[in-house]
Structure 1
Amino acid sequence: MSTCATASRDLDEPLAGTAATARTWLLIEQPGPWGAKALTSSHLDPAVGRALESAAAGTGVRVALIRRPGRHADCHAPTRHQVFLAHTGPGNAWLRSATVDSPEELLALDFPTLGAGDHGGFGEPHLGAPLALVCTNGKRDRCCALLGRPLASELAATGEEGLWEVTHLGGHRFSPTLLVLPHGYAYGRATPAGVKEILEAVRADRILVDGCRGGSAWDRPGQAAELAVRRTIAEHRAGVLDVLGAEHSADADDVPLWQVTVAHTDGRQWLVTVVQGASLPPRPESCGAALGSPARMDVTAVRELPASQDWHHPSA
Structure 2
Amino acid sequence: MTAAERFFCAEAARTRGDSLAGTAPYGSVWILIEYRGGWPPNGFDGLDLDPATKGLVFSAAQAVRARMLLIRRHGRHSPEAPRRWAVLRYDSSGAHRQQWGTWSRDEDLAQIVDALGTPGELGRPPVVLVCAHGQHDTCCAVRGRPVGRALSERWPNLVWECTHVGGDRFAANVVVAPDGVYYGNLDARSSVAAVEGHLTGRIHAEHLRGYTDLFPPQQAAVAAALGRFGPAGRHDYAIVETSREDDRWRIRVTGRPPGPAALDIEVRSYRTPPSQLTCRGLSMSSAVHYEVTSIRVG
TM-score (norm 1): 0.79
Per the alignment, do residues 72 and 235 of structure 1 end up closer, same or farther by CA in structure 2, a change over 3 Å counting? closer
Does 2:60 correspond to 1:55?
yes
User: What is the Cα deviation at residue 33 of structure 1?
Assistant: 1.4
CA offset digits 1:158-206 (Å, max 9, x no partner): 6644111111210001111111234221111111111111222123122
Q: Which amino acid aligns with 1:25?
A: W
The alpha-carbon distance between structure 1 residues 104 and 212, as it changes in their structure 2 partners (threshold 3 A), is same
- Distance in 2, Cα, partners of 1:71 & 1:82: 14
- Check if 1:291 corresponds to 2:280: no
Q: Residue 309 of structure 1 corresponds to which residue in structure 2?
A: none
Say which of 242, 261, 267 aligns to 2:252: 261
CA distance in 1, matches of 2:155, 2:176: 17
How many residue pairs get matched?
Answer: 286
Residue segments in structure 2 that go unaligned for 5+ positions in a row: 1-5
Q: Secondary structure at the match of 1:285?
A: coil
**What is the Cα deviation at residue 145 of structure 1?**
1.7
Pick closer, same or farther for the CA change 1:78–1:37 going to 2, 3 Å: farther
Structure 1 range deviating more: 168-177 or 256-265: 256-265
Tell me the SS of whatever aligns to 2:222: helix
Residues 136 and 144 of structure 1 are in contact (CA less than 8 Å); yes or no, is this contact kept in structure 2?
yes
TM-superposed deviation, 1:270: 2.5
What do residues 103-155 of structure 1 show as CA deviations (whole Å, max 9, x unaligned)? 211112345xxxxxxx53x356324xx42211111222121122212332344
Structure 2 vs 1, CA of residues 108 and 158 (structure 1 numbering), >3 Å: closer, same or farther? closer
Match of 1:81 in 2: 83
Matches within 5 A, 1:212-227: 212-227=208-223
**Distance across 1 between alignment mates of 2:157 and 2:114:** 30
The match for 1:91 is 93
Considering fraction of residues, name the structure with more helix: 2
Residue 228 in 1 paired to residue 224 in 2? yes
Q: Distance in 2 between matches of 1:215 and 1:35?
A: 27
Query: In the alignment, residue 141 of structure 2 is paired with which amino acid?
Result: A
Query: Which of 122, 131, 134 is the equivalent residue of 1:135?
Result: 131
Report the CA distance shift for 1:296/1:51 in structure 2 as closer, same or farther (over 3 A): farther
Structure 2 equivalent of residue 197 of structure 1: 193
- The one-letter amino acid paired with 1:140 is H
Q: Which residue number in structure 2 is paired with residue 103 of structure 1?
A: 109
Code of the residue aligned with 2:37 in structure 1: it is: G
Aligned-residue offset at 1:97:
4.5
Match of 2:148 in 1: 152
* Aligned residue identity for 1:200: E
Distance 1:85 1:205, change over 3 A: farther
Change (3 A) 1:202 1:159: closer
Q: What residue identity is the alignment partner of 2:272?
A: S
* Counterpart residue number, 2:3: none
Q: CA contact under 8 A between 2:184 and 2:209: conserved in structure 1? A: yes
Measure, in 1, the Cα distance between the counterparts of 2:189 and 2:197. Answer: 13
| Partner amino acid, structure 2, of 1:92 | G
Q: Report how far residue 261 of structure 1 moved.
A: 2.6
Contact residue 186 and residue 215 of structure 1 kept, 8 A: yes
Runs (5+) with no aligned partner, structure 1: 112-118, 251-255, 306-316
Residue identity matched to 1:211? H
State the match for 2:266 in structure 1: 273
What letter matches 1:125 in structure 2? G
Q: Is the 8 A contact 2:29 2:178 kept in 1?
A: no
